[in-house]
Amino acid sequence: AGNYGFQAQPMGVPGGFVVPPVQNQPTTERTIWMPIPPSIPNCPPGLEYLTQIDQVLIHQQLELLEIVTGFEVNNKYELKNALGQRVYFAAEDTDCLTRNCCGPSRPFTIRITDNLGHEVITLQRPLRCSVCCCPCCLQELEVQAPPGRTIGYVVQDWHVCLPKFTIQDEKRTDILKITGPCVVCRCCEDVNFEVKSVDETCTVGKISKQWTGLVQEMFTDTDNFGISFPMDLDVKMKAVMIGACFLIVSHFFTNTG
Q: 216 or 173: which carries more pLDDT confidence?
A: 173
The pLDDT of 20-33, averaged and rounded, is 54
Q: Which of 21-30, 131-140, 202-211 has the lowest mean pLDDT?
A: 21-30
Q: Which of 25-29, 162-166, 187-191 has the lowest mean pLDDT?
A: 25-29
Residue 107 reports pLDDT greater than 80: yes
Instruction: Return mean pLDDT, the chain.
Output: 80
CB 103 within 8 A of CB 257: yes
Angle at 241 between CA 238 and CA 247, to 5 degrees: 155
The confidence score (pLDDT) of residue 29 equals 56
Q: 257 or 190: which carries more pLDDT confidence?
A: 190
The confidence score (pLDDT) of residue 10 equals 47
DSSP state string for 91-154: EE---HHHHHHHGGG--EEEEEE-TTS-EEEEEEE------TT--SS--EEEEESSTTSEEEEE
Where is 168: in which H helix or E strand? strand 164-169
Q: How would residue 40 be classed by pLDDT, with cut points 50, 70 and 90?
A: very high
Residue 237 reports pLDDT greater than 80: yes
**For the chain, which residues make up each domain, given as ranges?**
48-253
The pLDDT of 163-167, averaged and rounded, is 95
Tell me the one-letter amino acid at 65: L
The pLDDT of 162-189, averaged and rounded, is 87
Q: Which of 15-19, 88-92, 145-149, 160-164 has the lowest mean pLDDT?
A: 15-19
The pLDDT of 15-20, averaged and rounded, is 50
Tell me the backbone φ, ψ of residue 249, rounded to 5 degrees: -60, -50
Domain 48-253 sits in CATH 3.40.50: no
Question: β-pairing, 191-197 with 174-179?
Answer: antiparallel
User: What pTM was computed for the model?
Assistant: 0.80
Q: How would residue 28 be classed by pLDDT, with cut points 50, 70 and 90?
A: very low
